[in-house]
Structure 1
Amino acid sequence: MITTKNPFTAQLIREYKLHTEAEIEQILEKSNVAFKLWKYEQIVHRTNLLQKVSELLIERKKEYSELMTQEMGKPITQSISEIEKCVWACDFYVKNAAQFLADELIETDADESFVSYDPVGTILAIMPWNFPFWQVIRFAAPTLTAGNTAILKHAANTTGCALALEQLFRDAGYPEGCFQTVLADHDTIEDIIADSRVQGITLTGSEKAGRSIAALAGKHLKKTVMELGGNNACIVWEDADLDKYIDTIVNARMQNTGQSCIAAKRFVVVDEIYAKFNTVFKEKIQSLRSGNPIKPETEIGVLARPDLVDTLENQIRESVDKGANVTYGNQKDGNFFEPTILENVRKGMPAFDEELFGPVAAIVRAKNREDSIALAADSKFGLGTMLFTQDIDEAIRMAGSIPDGGFFINEMVKSDPRLPFGGTRASGYGRELSKEGILAFTNKKTVYIKK
């Protein structure tokens, strides 16, 4: 049984029964049967259906936004923005899919040779609760348009969103079995991964979940894309234009109430601007409006589950025990966790080494620019780094010193349908979005012709 609760009110939303073994078999077979026809559909037909998804997302924006906020506590204005971003991704692939999937002619000693990009089959998507529509659409839009079929295993606390997404694709006219949601526990997911009808797995989630699913997929020789956790650094050099970028810097940590893998977790600030940064940063944090996430004025909502509050509290406590100082916040009430600032954060503390999934900013003092780059790169994660400076040439030169999947200068790390998105090291592997995302689950087939 799956139970969903409103994290702000703690009230029961709904209970759902897990799919039975027979129902899961039916889901797998429907997906397999659908693929055998769907893979031969013309790309123009697939993009026409994706265009319909885009139109329905716009039409149902209010409904879907309120559902997200109800299930996981996202401030309603951010839920609306999430649906709008889903529309953007759909429109991007409607426009570019045919070009991305076109045969690539390559001159060899053959009369004709090219690479074709063929769909591979059913792809299992294991998705998190923090961006319950965006994470799914950024996978589904390119993967279905490439000719694959999809089965979604969503986070339990956003089951309503999962079923709404299934209905969305059905209403857009996708053939039965093209996109389905499965309500299953961990043991059942292992069986689904092992099933020969599943040809790939994509997961967005924690490092722990990634290691587990990757091991299972490897055992069965299934291709995977893993987008895992991060403790992104936000580097602030002495010439940073705080007047211009402080809102961006704060949003990099506090968007989605800090529950984002790509959020700035560690603020690595050079000594020369350290005091000024802390003053300006704290003033902006203090001005954030907390409250009921369904109200449009709310900027900080609640954490999605009680266990997330407990984990965050323990990470802060251990960091303080090791020498960090709480200089603002650190109060909790139910699932609400007050925006919090930790200073004197150093390596060896959870606030430096781990991912803090909530509205907690860890401030790290760096001696100089060189030290700031070294501190930022000192992480087992590798999702993204941001650097604020007016010295653009030097910032570009430093990009190669950061071994992450993304490097953003004077901007927060974010995903964009036009650019590949993903991490390195403990933040995973593979890329979503852009051309890379639509080719992720295709067979890059060499075709060689002698006449």
Structure 2
Amino acid sequence: MFTSIDPATGAPGQSYRELTGDEIETRLARASAAFRDWRVTDYATRTALLARIAEQFDANTHRLAEIATREMGKTLKSAIAEVEKCAAGFRHYAQEGPAMLEPRQFQGATATWHPMGPVLAVMPWNFPYWQVVRFLAPTIMAGNVGLLKHASNVQGVAAAIEEMVIAAGAPAGLFQNLPIKSDKVAALIADDRIVAVTLTGSEGAGMKVAEAAGRALKKVVLELGGSDPFIVMPSADLDLAAKTAVTARIQNTGQSCICAKRMIVHADVYDAFLEKFSAGMRAVVAGDPMDAATDMGPLSSEAQLQTVLDQLQMFREAGAKLMFGGEPLPGKGAYLSAGILVDVPADHAVAHEEVFGPVAMLFKADDIDAAIGLANAVPFGLGSSVWTNDPAERARFERDIEAGMIAVNAMLASKPDAPFGGIKRSGHGRELGPYGLHEFMNLKTVIG
């Protein structure tokens, strides 16, 4: 049994029953049958369904957003934006998908794209709609079918997504929610009817899924953790950089793989940036996520709050200084104040920590080489943000930052039309854009 807990109040919400073994088998059989029909549908049928799903998200935006806010604590305004982004994601593939699947001609050969079968998605709670749509929209366009194992604390969101797809007129079995626990995932991956698996989550979860997929020789896409650098050089617009840094650190209460987590600032502007950034972080309003005046809601759970508090204690023990913040707020709920860590020893293991909460690390860099060295000195390589108005510096960062994505003079954010993913221990494979569509398709070469 799964029971939602409102992290803003600690109050229990709706409960959801876990599937039995027989029910899992029924859903697998239904997915296999659905694929036999869906794989041969024309592109117009697929794009029409994607457009109708987008309409369902639009028509139910506020209700869907409220479910996410109550289950994992993000502000209602950010939940609404997430639902709207999902509708845009479905529309993107409805509009651009056919062109992405155009055959490519070579001398004496043609390369064509073909669906593979049922794809299993193991998804997290932090962007509970968007993470699913990043897999689901291209899955439908590809001619595949999808099965979702969502995080335990967002089962209401999972059920709502399935409701939207069914209401849009999807064939039975095209997309199914699986209310199951993590111990059932390995057996699903091993099942011959599952052709591939995609996971967004922790390193530990990624290793387990990759191991299971490897044993079954199945394709896997992994989007794992990140400790994204936010680099500020003297030529940058400091006011804009500091303002953006606050948003980049506290978005989703700091619970995003592509949140800016490590602020790496050139020595010449370190003090000025710290003054501006500190003022912004101190002004962050944490409170009721349903209130439009709230900047930041609670962390997703009391357990997540404790995890961040334990990490902050590790930083203190390593010699780092918590300038302010990083404290539980009085009253009910998993609230933590926004804060800043300084004097973090760059050569200590704590500097590699991914803090999934609204506390930033600040590092000082003497020059661009030192900034790039600090940026790359972690096992992650998901995203990054660099702030410079020097073309030569920009070229260096674009070439030398070890990450799957880089934003220049902007906060990093995912877009339906742009590839999303990382390198190193942040995973492999890509979501979104044409590359996300192609990940789980057979590129078939036709000669003659």
Kept in 1: contact 2:232–2:241 (CA 8 A): no
- 1:346 is displaced (CA, Å) by 2.2
Matched, 1:425 2:419: no
The 5-angstrom pairing of residues 231-310 of structure 1 reads 231-310=227-306
- 1:351 is displaced (CA, Å) by 4.7
C-alpha distance in structure 1 between counterparts of 2:373 and 2:309, whole Å: 28
C-alpha distance in structure 2 between counterparts of 1:259 and 1:81, whole Å: 16
Return the match for 1:120 from 94, 116, 128.
Answer: 116
Return the match for 2:148 from 148, 152, 167.
Answer: 152
C-alpha distance in structure 2 between counterparts of 1:174 and 1:132, whole Å: 21
Kept in 2: contact 1:117–1:445 (CA 8 A): yes
C-alpha distance in structure 2 between counterparts of 1:157 and 1:337, whole Å: 19
Deviations 1:386-422 (A, max 9, x none): 1111113321233111121011111112111111110
- The residue type equivalent to 2:355 in the other structure is L
In the other structure, the counterpart of 1:129 is 125
- The residue type equivalent to 1:14 in the other structure is Q
C-alpha distance in structure 2 between counterparts of 1:327 and 1:423, whole Å: 31
C-alpha distance in structure 1 between counterparts of 2:107 and 2:304, whole Å: 55
- The residue type equivalent to 2:70 in the other structure is Q
Return the match for 1:170 from 163, 166, 171.
Answer: 166
SS in 2 for 1:26: helix
The verdict on how the C-alpha distance between 1:87 and 1:393 changes in structure 2, with shifts beyond 3 A counting, is farther
C-alpha distance in structure 2 between counterparts of 1:176 and 1:134, whole Å: 22
SS in 2 for 1:379: coil
SS in 2 for 1:198: coil
Return the match for 1:329 from 325, 328, 340.
Answer: 325
Greater CA deviation, 391-400 or 437-446?
391-400
- The residue type equivalent to 2:280 in the other structure is K
Identity %: 38
In the other structure, the counterpart of 2:225 is 229
Return the match for 2:203 from 197, 207, 212.
Answer: 207
Structure 1 stretches lacking a partner, 5+ long = none
The verdict on how the C-alpha distance between 1:85 and 1:171 changes in structure 2, with shifts beyond 3 A counting, is same
Kept in 1: contact 2:339–2:360 (CA 8 A): yes
In the other structure, the counterpart of 2:104 is 104
Deviations 1:77-96 (A, max 9, x none): 11011011112211111111
- The residue type equivalent to 2:133 in the other structure is I
Runs of at least 4 residues of structure 1 off by over 6 A? none
- The residue type equivalent to 1:356 in the other structure is V
C-alpha distance in structure 1 between counterparts of 2:16 and 2:240, whole Å: 47
C-alpha distance in structure 2 between counterparts of 1:270 and 1:351, whole Å: 21
In the other structure, the counterpart of 1:410 is 409
C-alpha distance in structure 2 between counterparts of 1:244 and 1:357, whole Å: 24
Kept in 1: contact 2:142–2:437 (CA 8 A): yes
TM-score using structure 2 length: 0.98
**RMSD over aligned Cα, in angstroms?**
1.1
Matched, 1:315 2:314: no
C-alpha distance in structure 2 between counterparts of 1:141 and 1:443, whole Å: 17
Structure 2 stretches lacking a partner, 5+ long = none
SS in 2 for 1:291: coil
C-alpha distance in structure 2 between counterparts of 1:154 and 1:281, whole Å: 36
C-alpha distance in structure 2 between counterparts of 1:393 and 1:55, whole Å: 45
- 1:246 is displaced (CA, Å) by 2.5
Deviations 1:194-248 (A, max 9, x none): 1000000000001111011000000001100000000000011122212233222
C-alpha distance in structure 2 between counterparts of 1:330 and 1:376, whole Å: 23
C-alpha distance in structure 2 between counterparts of 1:414 and 1:229, whole Å: 15
In the other structure, the counterpart of 1:23 is 23
In the other structure, the counterpart of 1:341 is 340
SS in 1 for 2:137: helix
C-alpha distance in structure 1 between counterparts of 2:2 and 2:346, whole Å: 39
In the other structure, the counterpart of 1:139 is 135
Kept in 2: contact 1:233–1:266 (CA 8 A): yes
Deviations 1:8-63 (A, max 9, x none): 01111111111000000000000000000000011111100100011111111000
In the other structure, the counterpart of 2:373 is 374
C-alpha distance in structure 2 between counterparts of 1:226 and 1:4, whole Å: 26
Kept in 2: contact 1:2–1:156 (CA 8 A): yes
Kept in 1: contact 2:318–2:350 (CA 8 A): no
Kept in 2: contact 1:319–1:350 (CA 8 A): no
C-alpha distance in structure 1 between counterparts of 2:256 and 2:416, whole Å: 18
What is the total number of aligned residue pairs between the two structures? 445
In the other structure, the counterpart of 2:80 is 80
Greater CA deviation, 72-81 or 333-342?
333-342
Kept in 2: contact 1:4–1:71 (CA 8 A): yes
Deviations 1:275-301 (A, max 9, x none): 111100011111111110011111110
Kept in 1: contact 2:190–2:216 (CA 8 A): yes
In the other structure, the counterpart of 1:398 is 397
- The residue type equivalent to 2:22 in the other structure is A
